[in-house]
Structure 1
Amino acid sequence: MKTETAVQDGILFVRLSGDLIGSPDTQQLLQSVDQHLGEELRHCAVDLSEVRYINSTGIGVLVSLLTKFRSRGGELVLINPADHPRKMLALTKLNAIFSIADDATAAAQQLKTVN
């Protein structure tokens, strides 16, 4: 899995590609996000458009990220999940928990409406 992070307008944007299946990559992702949380960020957008496959560990990572931001009074939005991640979110009924946006602009607009 490949991870890219950027902060724009007070929002942490995380772009993932490859397979989100729980390997040293997921620990690296969580550590990277934790470093940014030290910058007092409260909102995050995770781009899943290039994630081919996600398993239960990957779902757990997304839930962990959601919890981190909500516990700070913020929010996390998923951007355009690819077919398999979208099916897994529906199967686990987490599509009712996560906000989903079509693109980064829509995600930023959703996050700006959250206090």
Structure 2
Amino acid sequence: MKTESSVQDGILFVRLSGDLIGSPDTQQLLQSVDQQLGEEVRHCAIDLSDVRYINSTGIGVLVSLLTKFRSRGGELVLINPAEHPRKMLALTKLNAIFSIADDEQSAAQQLKSAN
């Protein structure tokens, strides 16, 4: 799994590509997000458009990140999940828990209105 992140207007944007299935990659993702969390970063948008496959560990990581941001008064939005992650979210009924946006701009608008 490959991870890229940037902060814009107090929103942490994370772009994932490859497979979100556990291993050291997910630990690095969690640590990276922890380092970015702070007073000015309360919201997060995770781009899943290039994630080919996600398993229960990957779903657990997303739930963990959602919990981190909500416990700090923030929110997390998923951006354009690819076919398999979208199916997994529906199968686990987590599509009712996560907000999903079509693109970064839509995600930013959703998160700004969450303030």
Q: TM-score range by the shorter chain?
A: over 0.9
Deviation at 1:105, TM superposition (A): 0.2
The aligned counterpart of 2:16 is 16
Structure 1 outlier segments of 4+, above 2 Å: none
The aligned counterpart of 1:25 is 25
Amino acid at match of 2:33: V
Q: C-alpha root-mean-square deviation of aligned residues, in Å?
A: 0.7
Give CA-to-partner distance per residue, 1:16-35, whole Å, 9 cap, x none.
00000001000000000000
Structure 1: which 5+ runs fail to align?
A: none
Deviation at 1:41, TM superposition (A): 1.1
TM value normalised by structure 1: 0.98
Alignment of 1:17-96 (within 5 A): 17-38=17-38, 40-96=40-96
% identical aligned pairs: 90
- CA distance in 2 between counterparts of 1:109 and 1:10 reads 12
- CA distance in 2 between counterparts of 1:74 and 1:44 reads 8
Amino acid at match of 2:44: C
Structure 2: which 5+ runs fail to align?
A: none
Amino acid at match of 2:112: K
TM value normalised by structure 2: 0.98
Amino acid at match of 2:108: A
- Number of residue pairs matched by the alignment: 115
Give CA-to-partner distance per residue, 1:52-111, whole Å, 9 cap, x none.
000000000000000000000000000000000000000000000000000000000000
